[in-house]
């Protein structure tokens, strides 16, 4: 019985891991429309929302990985209270958000 449970747990874990999208896929699907494929923010939406250049090492020094995780999970509001970035808590797992944080960090030049 223990062996059967162990096998079932391993299969369930493997299936869950297989469902997690690659950070580059999540970036393309959820982030690139505003931040651009390269993260520089030179898109129409990015300019309208005044997104920051994520390829800038100087800008990346202004936030921690925990800050980035929280922003991706909870979203970001402007000074006027309007949504500047929608939350991804309902679209991405914590592991996928952590993968996006690492993906963003790799953009810095």
Residue 3 CB contacts under 8 Å (≥ 6 apart), including other chains: none
Q: What pLDDT band is residue 109 in, cutting at 50, 70 and 90?
A: confident
- The topology (CATH level 3) of 21-105 is Cytochrome Bc1 Complex; Chain D, domain 2 (1.10.760)
Q: Give the Cα separation of 34 and 27 in Å (integer).
A: 10
pLDDT tens string 35-54: 999 999 999 999 999 999 99
Q: Give the Cα separation of 11 and 17 in Å (integer).
A: 10
pTM of the predicted model as reported, rounded to 2 decimal places: 0.79
Phi, psi of 53 (to 5 degrees): -80, 105
Q: What pLDDT band is residue 19 in, cutting at 50, 70 and 90?
A: low
């Amino acid at each position: 019985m223990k062996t059967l449970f162990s096998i079932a747990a391993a299969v369930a874990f493997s299936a869950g891991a297989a469902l997690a999208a690659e950070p580059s896929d999540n970036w393309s699907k959820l982030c690139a429309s505003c931040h651009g494929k390269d993260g520089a923010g030179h898109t129409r939406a990015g300019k309208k929302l005044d997104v920051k250049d994520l390829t800038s090492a100087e800008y990346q020094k202004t936030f921690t990985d925990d800050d980035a995780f929280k922003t991706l999970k909870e979203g970001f509001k402007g000074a006027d209270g309007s949504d500047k970035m929608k939350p991804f808590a309902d679209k991405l797992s914590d592991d996928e958000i952590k993968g996006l944080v690492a993906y963003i960090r790799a953009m810095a030049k």
